Amino acid sequence: MTRFSRRQFLATTATASAVLALPNIARADGKTLTIVSWGGAYQKAQSEEVWQPAAKKLGIELIEETYNGLADIRLRVRSGAVSWDIVSIGAGGAARAAAEDLLTPIDYSVVQTENLMPDYASKNWLGGDLYSTALAWRSDVYGDNAPQNWADFWDVEKFPGKRAYRNQSLGHLEPALLAEGVAAEDVYKELSTDAGLKEAINKIASLKPHIATFWASGAHQAQYLKDGVIDMTSAWSGQIIPLIEAGQPIDLTFNQAILDADAYVVPKGAPSEKLAMAFLNEISKAEYQAAFSNRMPYGAVNELAYTSGAISEERAKLLPSSPKNVATQLSLNSEWWKENQTRAEKLYQEMITA
């Protein structure tokens, strides 16, 4: 899943083109850092709750820009026109960027990880926040008899109603195997076989008569559910939680959800690489992570954000990375997707159009 489709917080093409025309600016004074994200409410919260307070603490000047995705990083690095020091990107995109040798490894002699959740401090990326692909439904349709796992999502007799599912394979093969009864720890082992991948595709194909739409973005899934176009859907938690908080008759479960990360990376050739590492270390602290999660419905990576009480128990119920919620989920394997997405996506699209 790319952030491009998930939040639709796009930078303008004109701005991106103008920035790409700039030469690589050497900023070795250790006082200026350029950080890039997706814009919109998400970046506004990153800036106000995390970046600016951290920059003030470190006594540095922060330049903020927006971008359109991995292609922008690729173009800058390969053209030698890197003016960005840190980029916010999905973990899957980070894994692909690393495979293309576009990133500088994270310096873990500077970035401290002892309080971070396992698996979210990779060689080339550092987790910034967490979100889930979860099962969501209209509570006014199902009441007390609501679906609670992916097997329920596929059970059209016990849980009749119109479904929606993603129009891309990323993060959406795993629920099919979980619905088939494959243990969470065996999902990627199964998907790595031709038979397992085919099983997942066929499982989704079997549900097509009950899928009213294959959604293309976070905005779509939320709107379809809010308007009653569908009764249940796979959904990104960050899109659904605001609807719940607003009092809409909508609910979700983190049981068997697919946990994924938004990450920070340092492009190869970043002008202020050493400062970037110090900044990543600072923004990984619990105080910033808690402030962001208290404002936006995305989970903290630093476990102290929960155990310190900076995030209340009531708020934690709605966050994918709270200790209670994370225990019931499957972590998305970005390395598997890096190696297999092209093949999986081809089969997935053939299934949708068949």
pTM for the predicted model, two decimal places = 0.89
What are the phi and psi torsion angles at 235 (to 5°)? -155, 150
Locus of tokens 């003030």: 56
User: Is residue 159 domain-shared with residue 238, that is, in the same domain?
Assistant: yes
Average pLDDT over residues 104-123: 96
CB-based burial label for 270 (10 Å; 0-12, 13-18, 19+): buried
CA-based torsion, 132, 160, 201, 350: positive or negative: negative
Residue 128 phi/psi, 5-degree rounding, is: -105, -45
pLDDT tens digits for range 228-269:
999 999 999 999 999 999 999 999 999 999 999 999 999 999
**Do both 162 and 71 map to the same domain?**
no
Q: State residue 121's pLDDT score.
A: 96
Residue 16: per-residue pLDDT: 40
Alpha helices in the chain (DSSP H): 3-7, 13-20, 40-45, 52-58, 70-79, 91-99, 139-142, 150-154, 174-179, 187-191, 194-207, 218-227, 237-245, 273-283, 286-295, 304-307, 313-316, 323-326, 334-353
Residue pointed to by tokens 């991948």: 197
Predicted pLDDT of residue 305: 98
Instruction: State the average pLDDT for the chain.
Output: 92
Residue 6 pLDDT grade (very low, low, confident, very high; cuts 50, 70, 90): very low
Q: Are 208 and 255 contained in the same domain?
A: yes
**The pair of three-digit structure tokens given for residue 121, joined into one six-digit string:** 């401090």
Query: Could you tell me if 141 and 197 lie in one domain?
Result: yes
Residues 290 and 307 in one domain: yes
Query: pLDDT for 332-353, tens place per residue?
Result: 999 999 999 999 999 999 999 9
Residue positions counted in the chain: 354
**What pLDDT shows up at residue 118?**
87
CATH number at residue 60: 3.40.190.10
User: Above pLDDT 90, what percent of the chain?
Assistant: 91
Q: List the helix and strand counts (H, then E) for the chain.
A: 19, 10
Q: What's the confidence (pLDDT) of residue 272?
A: 97
Same domain, 349 and 221: yes
Measuring CA to CA, how many Å separate 235 from each of 165, 171, 246, 259?
A: 8, 10, 17, 12
- pLDDT (tens digit per residue) in 51-106: 999 999 999 999 999 999 999 999 999 999 999 999 999 999 999 999 999 999 99
> In this structure, are residues 222 and 240 in contact, taking their beta carbons and an 8 Å threshold?
yes
In this structure, are 115 and 147 located in the same domain?
A: no
Q: Which residues pair with 220 in a beta bridge?
A: none
**Angle (CA) 265 93 319, round 5°:** 80
Same domain as 252, residue 304? no
What CA–CA distance (Å, rounded) separates 252 from 246?
A: 14
> Are 201 and 320 part of one and the same domain?
no
pLDDT at 188 over 80: yes
Q: Which domain holds residue 181?
A: 131-259+333-353
Q: Residue 23 pLDDT > 90, yes or no?
A: no
In whole angstroms, how far apart are CA 234 and each of 88, 135, 142, 205? 24, 5, 16, 15
| Choice among 1-15, 156-170, 209-223, 274-288 with the minimum mean pLDDT | 1-15
pLDDT at 66: 98
pLDDT of 14 above 80: no
List of residues 6+ apart from 201 with CB closer than 8 A? 173, 176, 347, 348, 351
Residue 201: other Cβ atoms inside 10 A: 19
> In this structure, are 197 and 144 located in the same domain?
yes
11: left (phi over 0), alpha (psi -120 to 50) or beta: beta
Structure tokens, 353: 């159009």
Question: Which residues have a Cβ under 8 Å from the Cβ of 108 and sit 6 or more positions away?
Answer: 121
Which pLDDT belongs to residue 62?
98
* Residue 234 φ/ψ region, left for φ over 0, alpha for ψ in the -120 to 50 degree band, beta for the rest: beta
Residue 30: pLDDT band with limits 50, 70, 90? low
Give the per-residue pLDDT at 4.
39
**Residue that has been written with the tokens 């093969």 in this structure:** 173
Both 217 and 287 in one domain: the answer is no
pLDDT value at 11 more than 70: no
Whether residue 50 is predicted with pLDDT greater than 70 in this model: the reply is yes
> Count of domains in the chain?
2
Angle at 141 between CA 137 and CA 142, to 5 degrees: 75
Q: Do residues 271 and 245 both lie within one domain?
A: no
